Amino acid sequence: MDAVRQAGLPIAIACGASGLCARCGVRILSGSVSVSAETPEEASAKRFNRIDPEQRLSCMATVSGDVQITAPYW
């Protein structure tokens, strides 16, 4: 989430970045090795909110290097 905001990209957050709404889903285009592994909580939030399993929730993923992302609403 911080990386998305630092890049100046618009991101939807209806739950205050707690992983409940899953509105912050992004697709990683490159650099996935720089993104933390999906947690069971993130997987559960995506299933509950019917989010594409290939997307990541930016509020729950940690970025440690360069990544390229996109989101359905950009």
52: tokens are 């594409």
Range of 31's domain?
2-70
- pLDDT bracket for residue 73 (50, 70, 90): low
Find the CATH number of the domain harbouring 11: 3.10.20.30
Q: Is the pLDDT of residue 13 over 90?
A: no
State the total domains in the chain: 1
Residue 28, number of CB atoms within 10 A of its CB: 18
In which element (H, E) is residue 29 found?
strand 25-30
Task: For residue 16, list its beta bridge partners.
Answer: none
**Contact indicator for 62, 36 with CB cutoff of 8 Å:** yes
| Residue 28 backbone phi and psi in degrees, to 5 | -85, 120
Longest dimension (CA), the chain: 29
Under the banding of pLDDT at 50, 70 and 90, the label for residue 53 is very high
